[in-house]
A = this chain, B = another copy of it.
Amino acid sequence: MAMQYRIGEFSTLSGVSTKTLRFYDEIGLLRPASVDSRTGYRHYRPQQLEELASILALKNLGASLADVRQLKSAASYGTSRRELLSELKNTIEQSIDAATQTLQCVNAALAELEVSRRPIPVVVKHLDAIPVACVRAEVKSYSHILQFEQELLNALPPDCVGDLRGVLWHRCADSGALDGEPFVALKRKVSSRTYDVKLLPATTVACAYSSLDDESAERSYEAIRKWMGIRGYKIAGPKREISLGQMLEIQFPLKSA
């Protein structure tokens, strides 16, 4: 008679709960050596302790149960095991990198709480390309750009103007002048000599919000700059300011990195 255990004893011997053992049976990961056809009782054998140990060992290295099950049915044990371990290695390395990054961000957030009561939230976002009409202009003051925006709106047939509008800010060599480019989204194609029609490229941005006054906007700009600095991001193209009624959304395009 071959030695065999019922599920409870196998559970205490292996340190794995009966629920887990039943679950492993259910998903075909570790089937009992035999099942009493009348009572349904599961019976395990000593060798299955080792089999279970090999499952747990892989699980402890981060493998999913699906991975382990797949490995058992694999043709060439050595090869696929190596592949699995390599994948696990990559996954772990990536997660360590990500966690290290996140840790720095948390530390930065804690530091910021010391100086600011209400830190300004910054988030990343992927934007699709947008067809727009726009005019580029150098202005001396921020409010001056609003005139150009109005002119742009007036020059467009009203039925093709989308809801989205804003300003692109190009880098100016601190010459005292601002190089802005108001734009409005287009619902359909138009063409004209008074304005440009182009496609704002798809991009990933870091963004934050502000109210309409300069001071608030400047705080948001600063928050984004700091945020990017911590994460090592670089700016990639003109900043965007999106009008949202009483609010402003400020976007810094990021290098895809």
Contacts and interface: CB of A to CB of B under 8 A. Distances in A.
Interface residues of A, number: 58
Interface-central residue, A3, A15, A110, A123, by most chain B CB under 10 Å: A123
Given A82-B113, A113-B81, A47 B247 contact: yes
Interface string A57-96: 1001110000000000000011001100110110011011
Interface stretch (A35-43, A48-56, A170-178, A188-196): A48-56
A126 B78 CA distance: 31
Contact of A207 (B53, B95, B110): B53
Q: Chain A interface secondary structure, helix, strand, loop or mixed?
A: helix
A66 B122 CA distance: 20
A208 B54 CA distance: 10
A246 interface: yes
Given A3-B245, A208-B53, A89 B106 contact: yes
Interface-central residue, A57, A82, A128, A163, by most chain B CB under 10 Å: A57
A85 B109 contact: yes
A8 to B, nearest CB: 12
Nearest to A89: B106
A107 interface: yes
A99 interface: yes
A246 B3 CA distance: 9
Contact of A117 (B54, B78, B89, B126): B78
Nearest to A113: B82
Contact of A103 (B93, B127, B245): B93
9 contacts: A47-B246, A49-B247, A53-B121, A53-B122, A61-B105, A62-B106, A92-B103, A96-B99, A99-B99
Given A3-B244, A86-B110, A89-B110, 8 more contacts: A2-B245, A46-B245, A50-B247, A53-B208, A78-B113, A85-B106, A85-B109, A95-B95
Interface of A: 2-3, 9, 12-15, 46-47, 49-50, 53-54, 56-57, 60-62, 77-78, 81-82, 85-86, 88-89, 92-93, 95-96, 99-100, 102-103, 105-107, 109-110, 113, 117-118, 121-123, 125-128, 163, 207-209, 244-247, 249
